[in-house]
Every structure is written in C-alpha cells, then in structure tokens.
C-alpha cells in the first residue's frame, strides 16, 4: 500500500513530461505549417542584389510582383526581406501593427546622420521629437516663411538664367538646403550658413558611397565633415543659449523642450536631429521639383494651363509687387494636382525599410523575426487597379481623392514625413515664380532615370533658363495695363512688346486667318444682332486657356434696323 503514492507520483510526472513534449511537437508542427512567402533568395550571401542593381530597381520589383503576387521574399543588401505591394499590407506595417516593426537603417548611414535622429527611433523619445518637428513645420508655422522662400526661389532662378546650362537636380538641392536651413534656424548668419553648407555637401557625397573608413575615401571624408558639423552646430546652440533668444524655429523648439520629468534634450540629440531634418528636406524635395519641371516641359498644353492659373495670381499681386499669401498657395488647384501626379509618377521614396521585432503572421505567411520588411510605395502608385494607365502623366486623376492607402508619397503612420507641408509649399512657390517670370528648355533627349539613391531624370535634367518679362501687362509699355483701352493702338506698340501670336520661327503661322475670323464675326454681330451677358461674370476660368467665367453665358437676338435716307 505504501508504494501507491510513489506510483501515482511517477504516473503524474510521466504524464506532465508527455504533455510537454506533445505540446512542443504541436507548436513545431504549427510553425511548419506557416510558410514563408513565395519568391527567390538568390545566391548564398549576395542574394539578388546583383539583379536589383543591374537593372531599373522598379522593373525588378514589378517583375517579382507579377510572378509571385503582392507579398514575396527576396534577399538584397545582405538581408532576407519580405516585400509588400498592396495598400492593405503597407497599412498593416506602417499603421495598424507599426509596433511590430522597427525602422532600420545601415549602421554606416546612421553614423553619418547621428544615432539620436528621430527616424531611427520608436516609443516615447520618437513621440516627443515628432511633436516638436511637426509643430515647427505645421501650416501655421511655415506660412510666415513664404516671403523668405520666395526671395530664395527668385534668387536661385536668376542665377540659373545667368548660366549656359545647369544641372537642374543639383540646383534644386541647393535651393532645398537653403529652405531647410531657414526652417531650422530662421535667418542664420552667413558665416555659419557657408560652413554648414560646405561640410554638409561632403557628408552628402559620402552617404551613398561604399562605407570604407580608410583615409582619403569619400566615407572617411564624410565622417570627418560630420564631426565638423557637430562643432558648428554646437557653436550656434551655445550662441542661442547665451543670448537667450526665444526663436520659434525648429532649433528654438528643441532648446525649449522639457518632458514630463523636466528633462531637456542633450546637445548631441539636438545636433543629430538638425542634421536628420536637413537630410530629409533636401534630396527628396529636389528630386520631386526636378520631375515637376520635366513633366511640365514635356506637356506644352499643361504648362500653358498652369501658367494661366499662376498669372492670374501674379497679376492680382501687382505683377510680383506683393508676396504670395498663404490663402493663394491654397488656391492653386491645377498646380497642386500637377505636384501630386509628379509625386505619384516619380515615387521618389520607392519603398521604406522596417524590421520585424517578433515572428509575425500576415495573410497566412510567416514573416520571421529579424527579417527586413519593405512596403513598396512605387508598386502601389503604379498599380492600374488604383491608377488607370499608370504610366501616363495625368494630373486630372486627382480631381477625385485616391482610395485610402493607395497614395502615400510621404509614407504613412507615426513615421510619415512630418515636413510634407513644407515640401509641398516649396514646390508651389517654385512653380509660381518659374512659370510667371522664367522660361526653360531641357537640353538633349533626357528619357532615362538615374538613382542616387532617389530617382532623377538622366544627368540631373540639364536645362537652359532665361528670364521672361510679362510684356503685355507691363505698365512701362502699356500704361494702366488693366484698363481696356483700344486707343492705345492708335500708335504702334514698341518693337517686341506686343506678341500675342508669339515671335520668331515658332510664331503662329495662322495669325492672319485668326484676325480675319475676328473681324468677320464682329462685323456681322454688331450690324445684325444684339446680346446681353447673363449674370455677373467677372471671374476667369482656365481650360487650359483663360475665358470668362462659365464660358460667358449670354442671350442673343436679331436686330432689324430702319435706315432713313
């Protein structure tokens, strides 16, 4: 009888042991049932990196999507990756389950920007910093920058007009950097600005170079320039603190920050985030601006329509005597659609890197912990299901808002670009002054795309720029130009000041026919008919050419004249 308790204990122990192994086996079987997404991992170690960089990266991803569907695996840049090409998958990674995926960047790039920069982090630190950046780059904050941004844009364009041919992308990078400096520091001393620009350019060149830290290499020079940037920024910060300047720019927000425990940001955290903002503000905006110029240049009818929209604003501002207002930048519908379509077509940010922090199941597939996860923005933007005829540049497609999560040029979720309003404002200002004051011509047949790392037209879009005077409304040639006064043509206009049909070899060859049509219509209209405009038609519509509002609704009737001899 005494052996019974011992026997029961042994049975209990064995049953627990069997249960443990059974559950472990079940878990293992369940894990096996979860399959990795379809796809190819390529060669050992190098994966499919050679295939990726030996062709247009967008073609590489598009072929994979056609073959395997919206979720597939590959191995690039030394990492196993899962690619996601549907709006739902992008939202899963960036919004609804963002806590399961952390931002990830190569250590070499993190070192150049600074490990404390906003976009390398998650959690409370990221939340606090994001709020600071968003508040200093909000519509309320950036509207006061418009006059300075206009001044920078006009100055840049005038410098382009003095050159024979410019690299449009490189010049747009210079302009975007100036705006970045303005948003971070306000009006910065030229001495500091020059030093920041010089050293930042060295960092920029080394950022996409092979990360070999040997003396003389681009990466090594970038590391040294990054240390110099730290010194310059520390000087600026100390000067601000000493003078107790309470500026409302981004640096001011950083310096005034205290968390709920009263903790402030360190100088290293501030400098890393300033460089991060400058980095984010430059290349992507410059690339987008370069594409906008190319798309407008390639569609003359669209360019004329945008010019007409902007000329109406330009004239209402006294032909440039007044600065653009925030309200005017919100009322450029065609120009804004051109910007949105340029962002869709070019898809400057083709994808973003995340890393799975745990094993994740999505759509029946396993995404293993540690694997890189890439939502493919460009594949979504070029999917004919969401954007019919996606390779055709058509701003009118944005007359109706795209379906949710199908248009994400600035990312999505907590890591979406906090400076997107500033970037769009830059684009609107550049287009306004470019089409109202300048003309440009692309040099050569620029049809290819280069990646460095963002897509830009081949050779950075070489172009010639020249200044265009708005002759017909210039009070120097036509006094009181807004007043309709046919008598001003009793005396011939000065040479080259009246060119309604253009000038030179591309002048309209049918101008005599057009003038004859007008004379005949006016002749018969005034001697045989009368008309009356319906309603108060004072506005102008563009479609693409300027016409009176609603096409000038009017009543016409035949008039019988009694002539006495």
Which residues belong to the annotated binding site? 417
Closest CA to 429 of 251, 285, 249, 279: 285
State how far the Cα of 165 lies from the Cα of 150, in Å rounded to an integer: 23
- Inter-helix orientation angle 300-316/333-346, to 10°: 140
Cβ neighbours, 10 Å, residue 383:
19
Report the largest interatomic distance among the alpha carbons of the chain, rounded to a whole angstrom: 148
**Cα–Cα–Cα angle for 16, 19, 22, nearest 5°?**
150
Cβ neighbours, 10 Å, residue 327:
8
Closest CA to 88 of 406, 389, 545: 406
State how far the Cα of 380 lies from the Cα of 410, in Å rounded to an integer: 13
In degrees rounded to 5, what are phi and psi of residue 535? 85, 175
Neighbouring-strand partners of residue 79: 76
List the beta strands (DSSP E) in 409-563.
438-442, 449-451, 455-457, 462-467, 529-533, 540-542, 546-548, 554-558
Structure tokens at 261: 């425990």
Structure tokens at 229: 């940037």
State how far the Cα of 376 lies from the Cα of 382, in Å rounded to an integer: 10
Closest CA to 146 of 325, 402, 383, 371: 325
Q: How deeply is 318 buried, as exposed, middle or buried, from its count of CB atoms within 10 A (0-12, 13-18, 19+)?
A: exposed
State how far the Cα of 501 lies from the Cα of 249, in Å rounded to an integer: 48
Q: Which residues are annotated as a binding site for heme?
A: 417
Q: Which helix (H) or strand (E) is 374 found in, with range? A: strand 372-375
What is the DSSP secondary-structure string of 168-193? HHHHHHHHHHHHHHHHHHSS--HHHH
For residue 355, CA distances in Å to 29, 211, 358, 408, 538 come to 25, 21, 9, 20, 58
Neighbouring-strand partners of residue 541: 547
């Amino acid at each position: 009888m005494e052996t019974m308790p011992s026997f029961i204990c042994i049975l209990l122990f064995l049953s627990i042991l069997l249960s443990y192994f059974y559950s472990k086996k079940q878990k293992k079987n369940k894990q096996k049932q979860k399959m990795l997404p379809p796809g190819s991992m390529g060669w050992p170690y190098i994966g499919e990196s050679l295939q990726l960089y030996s062709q247009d990266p967008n073609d590489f991803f598009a072929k994979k999507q056609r073959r395997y569907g919206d979720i597939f695996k590959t191995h690039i840049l030394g990492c196993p990756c899962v690619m996601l090409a549907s709006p739902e998958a992008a939202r899963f990674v960036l919004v609804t389950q963002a806590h399961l995926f952390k931002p990830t960047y190569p250590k070499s790039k993190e070192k150049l920007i600074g490990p404390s920069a906003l976009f390398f982090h998650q959690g409370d630190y990221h939340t606090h910093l994001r709020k600071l950046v968003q508040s200093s780059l909000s519509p309320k904050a950036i509207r006061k920058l418009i006059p300075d941004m206009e001044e920078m844009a006009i100055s840049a364009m005038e410098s382009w007009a003095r050159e024979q041919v410019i690299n449009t992308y490189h010049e747009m990078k210079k302009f975007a950097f100036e705006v970045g400096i303005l948003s971070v520091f306000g009006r910065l001393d030229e001495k500091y600005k020059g030093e920041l620009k010089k050293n930042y350019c060295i960092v920029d060149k080394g950022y996409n170079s092979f990360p070999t830290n040997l003396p003389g290499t681009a990466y090594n020079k970038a590391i040294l320039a990054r240390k110099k940037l730290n010194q310059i920024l520390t000087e600026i910060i100390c000067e601000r603190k000493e003078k107790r300047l309470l500026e409302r720019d981004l640096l001011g927000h950083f310096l005034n920050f205290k968390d709920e425990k009263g903790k402030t940001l360190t100088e290293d955290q501030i400098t890393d985030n300033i460089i991060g903002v400058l980095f984010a503000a430059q290349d992507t905006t410059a690339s987008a601006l370069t594409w906008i110029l190319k798309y407008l240049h390639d569609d003359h009818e669209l360019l004329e329509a945008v010019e007409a929209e902007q000329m109406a604003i330009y004239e209402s501002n006294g032909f440039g005597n007044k600065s653009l207002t925030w309200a005017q930048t919100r009322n450029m519908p065609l120009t804004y659609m051109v910007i949105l379509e340029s962002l869709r077509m070019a898809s400057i940010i083709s994808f973003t890197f995340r890393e799975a922090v745990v094993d994740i199941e999505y759509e029946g597939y396993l995404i293993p912990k540690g694997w890189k996860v890439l939502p493919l923005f460009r594949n979504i933007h070029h999917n004919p299901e969401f954007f019919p005829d996606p390779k055709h540049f058509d701003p009118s497609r944005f007359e109706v808002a795209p379906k949710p999560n199908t248009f994400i040029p600035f990312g999505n979720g907590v890591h979406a670009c906090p400076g997107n309003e500033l970037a769009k404002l830059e684009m609107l200002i550049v287009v306004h002054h470019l089409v109202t004051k300048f003309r440009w011509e692309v040099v050569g047949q620029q049809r290819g795309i280069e990646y460095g790392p963002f897509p830009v037209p081949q050779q950075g879009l070489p172009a010639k720029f020249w200044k265009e005077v708005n002759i017909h409304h210039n009070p120097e040639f036509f006094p009181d130009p807004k007043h309709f006064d046919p008598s001003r043509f009793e005396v011939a206009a000065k040479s080259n000041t009246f060119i309604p049909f253009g000038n030179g070899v591309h002048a309209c060859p049918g101008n005599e026919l057009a003038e004859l049509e007008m004379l005949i219509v006016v002749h018969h209209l005034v001697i045989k008919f009368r008309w009356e405009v319906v309603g108060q038609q004072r506005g102008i519509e563009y479609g693409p050419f300027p016409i009176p509002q609603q096409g000038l609704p009017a009543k016409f009737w035949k008039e019988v004249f009694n002539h006495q001899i």
